[in-house]
């Protein structure tokens, strides 16, 4: 039996074990069933008005005792309104023409944002004192940053809502606490064990600061450099993306949808398998009542036989403070330096955008910033977020008002205001607003 | 917020020994109060009702655990469904506060400046959960001794030190017979900010404890009512529950 087949069999066995354990646990304990309903109305303008309505229901089921239990959440999404979009509107005409009569052409035509149902989480967790062992599709949180986490190989954060729950990852997680230290090991379970992501973290609490060193490895496939882009289509597309000839981008198309499409397009551009190794460090604490955190990562990426390799480092510096105004205004600011980011919009390339859209890169600019102001007012909150790409001089301003309606109902009203020229990262975004109603049950 | 949190909010909740008012000085009062404050461990359930100036109301049910004479405490929100499973861990008498969100499975360490912020929109702030060495956190003077309905009371003025909370001063009225706090007043730069009144006390397993209290916001209006539903000193919560790994337990 080949190694690959062995891996697949092993992964399947693990999945069966998880499901068996889940049902076994559920059978002997009363499940706790709850969830929430979200209705988001998105309105935007990019040459034409668009209105979408997303209905999202999440049902959570938990069962078991404190020592052994399982948690799961099932999500269903239905979209209404302006749910049709054409990727062809996002790329220049010459590309559409050149792809005609290829298997990729249908991807450029009109598509629906699909209604979906997926298992967001389903995992079994055993815990004995400070030892945790969890297996299944589970949330994996990593690093100290709020808007960006350079040491995190697992999640892709949306800077417009960084604290929004991330979908679970199929993984085995072991956490072990030891005095003021703790060790965390996470191994992902992909179809091939050899290509599954793994990460480790050793954390200590010393002198009022959390200190952690981390290491990780992951595998991905993507376009690498211009030398590998034999097809002139990609060079032209890269220049065009940099030149900003396409219309404004719709913020509300789900990341999973654009990632899938761009992934397929990327295949056309000659992809290579890449192994990425990450060594990192993060800390979090305070000096003189000023909250401080930082996250440092050094990434080494290479193809299997070293035809291509790249070193990238990323540094995140953050600070937070509560101003003594009214009930207190929480202020958080972060700065992200990315060694392989560009200095200006004229340097943008298709590879960068592909990697960024698919979540493999945190940002496209070399210098990036994030500012968040939070003012609680009674049971409500006013927030203002600003995401900045200092390298191309563009930013997104995102005022947000959260209203608590009842114990279990809330209303969020947010606006997206892009600022920057048409060639910049955020200048191409559309103006938009979202009204989100959430009801927990 | 658990029982020990409330106990520490009241700071000088009760004292077990009776001494005549005239014989008391500040040092004796503090020593007696701190001695009486020490409850080895507890498990409680409480209901917190936040009433806004606009007439809105939110109700939370919180399960609380504490050990080491209240130096370590853990609050677990049970209701409403929207925040079920959110946890607040207070270590080192409130000097180290950690929060846990079940949605993200993430533990966060709270910086000192965040302790001024309200807890879940209530009129209590995170720093109200802190206890510890009162003479380290405050410079305390005895303002007044008086008698009301044949009961002796002390009025203490507490000025926070650099190790204390962010209030400008706190005035505490303590019952000299039961040694329960009758009322506490919290001042900021603009004057009286909040007022905590103990409305009801009950005897639980031989101890008299504050059972119902109201924190009134005197500047914005609104108030938060905290009522204990269950209290037990029987079973000691395990030490590991008060760790970051413990926060991730169901």
pLDDT-based confidence at residue A269 (cuts at 50, 70, 90):
low
The pLDDT value recorded for residue A163 is 87
How many Cα atoms occupy the beta-carbon half-sphere of B58 within 13 Å?
27
The pLDDT value recorded for residue B19 is 38
Classify B206 as helix, strand or coil: coil
Number of neighbouring beta carbons within 10 Å of residue A5: 10
Q: Give the predicted TM-score (pTM) of the model.
A: 0.82
Q: Which of residues 384-423 of A touch B (CB under 8 A)?
A: 404, 406-408, 410
DSSP secondary structure, A266-306, as one string? HHHT--EEEEEEEEEEEEEEEETTEEEEEEEEEEEEEETTS
- The answer to whether the CB atoms of B59 and A127 lie below 8 A apart is no
- Using an 8 Å CB-CB cutoff, list chain A residues near B111: 285-286, 289-291, 320-321
Residue whose structure tokens are 């995102």: A398
- The answer to whether the CB atoms of A378 and B56 lie below 8 A apart is yes
Q: Quick one: average pLDDT of B18-45?
A: 72
Smallest Cβ distance to A378: which of B52, B81, B240?
A: B52
- Using an 8 Å CB-CB cutoff, list chain B residues near A177: 240, 243-245
Token representation of residue A71: 């948690």
| pLDDT score of B218 more than 80 | yes
- Name the minimum distance, in Å, from the CA of A229 to any CA of chain B: 39
| pLDDT score of A47 more than 80 | no
Smallest Cβ distance to B81: which of A138, A328, A408?
A: A408
Q: What percent of chain B has pLDDT over 90?
A: 42
Pair B105, A138: CB distance under 8 Å: yes
d(CA B41, CA B39): 6
pLDDT tens digits, residue range A283-311? 999 888 889 999 999 999 998 888 888 89
Higher pLDDT, A353 or A56: A56
Q: Quick one: average pLDDT of B136-141?
A: 88
Q: Quick one: average pLDDT of B144-171?
A: 89
Q: Say if B36 is an interface residue toward chain A (CB within 8 Å).
A: no
Pair B216, B195: CB distance under 8 Å: yes
Q: Quick one: average pLDDT of A235-249?
A: 44
Letter string b/e over residues B218-235, b meaning 16 or more CB atoms within 10 A of that residue's CB: beeebbbbbebeebebee
- Name the minimum distance, in Å, from the CA of A368 to any CA of chain B: 24
**Which of B99, B113, B221, B241 should we substitute to test contact with A (largest number of A Cβ atoms within 10 Å)?**
B113
- Name the minimum distance, in Å, from the CA of A375 to any CA of chain B: 10
Pair A279, A210: CB distance under 8 Å: no
**Which of B85, B104, B194 should we substitute to test contact with A (largest number of A Cβ atoms within 10 Å)?**
B104
- Name the minimum distance, in Å, from the CA of A19 to any CA of chain B: 19
Q: Say if A175 is an interface residue toward chain B (CB within 8 Å).
A: yes
Of A1-5, A117-121, A404-408, B65-69, least confident by mean pLDDT is A1-5
When the pLDDT of each residue in chain A is averaged and rounded to a whole number, the result is 82
Q: Provide ipTM, 2 decimals.
A: 0.79
Q: Quick one: average pLDDT of A341-357?
A: 78
The pLDDT value recorded for residue A246 is 42
- Name the minimum distance, in Å, from the CA of A129 to any CA of chain B: 6
Higher pLDDT, A243 or A198: A198
The pLDDT value recorded for residue A192 is 81
| pLDDT score of B50 more than 60 | yes
pLDDT-based confidence at residue B111 (cuts at 50, 70, 90):
confident
Q: Which of residues 363-382 of A touch B (CB under 8 A)?
A: 376, 378-379
- The answer to whether the CB atoms of A378 and B82 lie below 8 A apart is no
pLDDT-based confidence at residue B162 (cuts at 50, 70, 90):
confident
Task: Give strand pairing partners of A249.
Answer: A429
Angle between helices A232-243 and A350-357 (to 10 degrees): 80
Q: Say if B240 is an interface residue toward chain A (CB within 8 Å).
A: yes
């Amino acid at each position: 039996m080949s190694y690959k087949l062995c891996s697949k069999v092993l992964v399947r066995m693990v999945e069966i074990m998880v499901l068996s354990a889940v049902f076994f646990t559920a059978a002997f304990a009363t499940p706790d069933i709850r969830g929430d309903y979200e209705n988001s109305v998105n309105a935007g303008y990019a040459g034409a008005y668009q209105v979408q309505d997303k209905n999202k229901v999440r049902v959570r089921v938990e069962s078991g005792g404190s020592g052994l239990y399982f948690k799961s959440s099932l999500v269903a999404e239905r979209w209404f309104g302006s749910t049709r979009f054409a990727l062809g509107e996002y790329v220049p005409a010459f590309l559409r023409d050149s792809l005609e009569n290829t298997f990729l052409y249908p991807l450029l035509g009109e598509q629906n944002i699909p209604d979906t149902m997926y298992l967001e989480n389903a995992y079994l967790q055993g815990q004995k004192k400070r030892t945790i062992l969890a297996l299944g599709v589970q949330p994996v949180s990593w690093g100290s940053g709020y808007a960006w986490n350079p040491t995190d190989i697992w999640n892709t954060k949306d800077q417009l809502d960084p604290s929004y729950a991330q979908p679970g990852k199929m993984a085995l997680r072991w956490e072990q606490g030891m005095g003021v230290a703790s060790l965390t090991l996470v191994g992902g379970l992909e179809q091939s064990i050899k290509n599954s992501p793994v990460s480790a973290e050793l954390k200590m609490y010393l002198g009022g600061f959390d200190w952690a060193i981390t290491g990780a490895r992951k595998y991905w496939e993507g376009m690498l450099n211009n030398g590998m882009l034999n097809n002139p289509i990609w060079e032209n597309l890269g220049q065009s993306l940099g030149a900003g000839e396409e219309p404004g981008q719709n913020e509300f198309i789900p990341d999973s949808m654009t990632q899938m499409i761009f992934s397929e397009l990327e295949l056309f551009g000659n992809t290579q398998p890449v192994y990425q190794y990450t060594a990192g460090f993060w800390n979090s604490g305070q000096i003189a009542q000023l909250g401080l955190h930082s996250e440092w990562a050094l990434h080494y990426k290479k193809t299997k036989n070293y035809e291509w390799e790249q070193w990238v480092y990323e540094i995140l510096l953050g600070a937070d403070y509560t101003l003594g105004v009214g009930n207190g205004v929480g202020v958080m600011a972060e700065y992200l330096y990315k060694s392989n980011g560009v200095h200006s919009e004229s340097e943008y390339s298709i590879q960068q955008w592909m990697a960024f859209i698919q979540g493999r890169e945190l940002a496209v600019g070399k210098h990036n910033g994030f500012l968040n102001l939070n003012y609680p007012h009674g049971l409500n909150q006013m927030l203002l977020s600003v995401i900045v790409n200092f390298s191309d001089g563009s930013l997104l301003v995102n005022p947000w008002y959260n209203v608590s309606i009842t114990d279990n109902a809330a209303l969020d009203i947010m606006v997206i205001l892009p600022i920057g020229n048409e060639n910049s990262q955020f200048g191409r975004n559309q103006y938009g607003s979202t009204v989100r109603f959430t009801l927990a049950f | 917020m658990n029982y020990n949190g409330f106990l520490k909010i009241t700071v000088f909740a009760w004292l077990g020994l009776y001494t005549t008012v005239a014989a008391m000085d500040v040092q004796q009062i503090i020593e007696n109060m701190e001695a009486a404050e020490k409850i080895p461990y507890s498990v409680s359930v409480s209901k917190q009702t936040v009433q806004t100036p606009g007439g809105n109301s939110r109700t939370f049910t919180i399960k609380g655990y504490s050990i080491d004479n209240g130096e370590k405490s853990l609050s677990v929100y049970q209701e409403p469904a929207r925040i079920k499973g959110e946890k607040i861990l207070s270590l080192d008498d409130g000097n180290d506060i950690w929060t846990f969100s079940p949605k993200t499975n993430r533990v966060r360490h709270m910086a000192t400046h965040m302790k001024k912020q309200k807890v879940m929109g209530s009129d209590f702030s995170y720093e109200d959960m802190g206890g510890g060495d009162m003479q380290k956190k405050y410079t305390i003077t005895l303002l007044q001794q008086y008698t009301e309905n044949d009961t002796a009371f002390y009025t203490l003025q507490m000025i926070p030190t650099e190790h204390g909370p962010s209030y400008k001063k706190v005035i505490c009225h303590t019952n000299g017979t039961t040694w329960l706090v009758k009322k506490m007043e919290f001042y900021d730069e603009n004057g009286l900010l909040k007022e905590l009144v103990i409305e009801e006390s009950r005897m639980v397993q031989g101890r008299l404890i504050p059972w119902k209290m109201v924190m009134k916001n005197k500047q914005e209006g609104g108030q938060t009512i905290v009522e204990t539903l269950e209290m037990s000193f029987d079973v000691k919560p395990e030490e590991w529950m008060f760790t970051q790994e413990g926060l991730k337990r169901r």
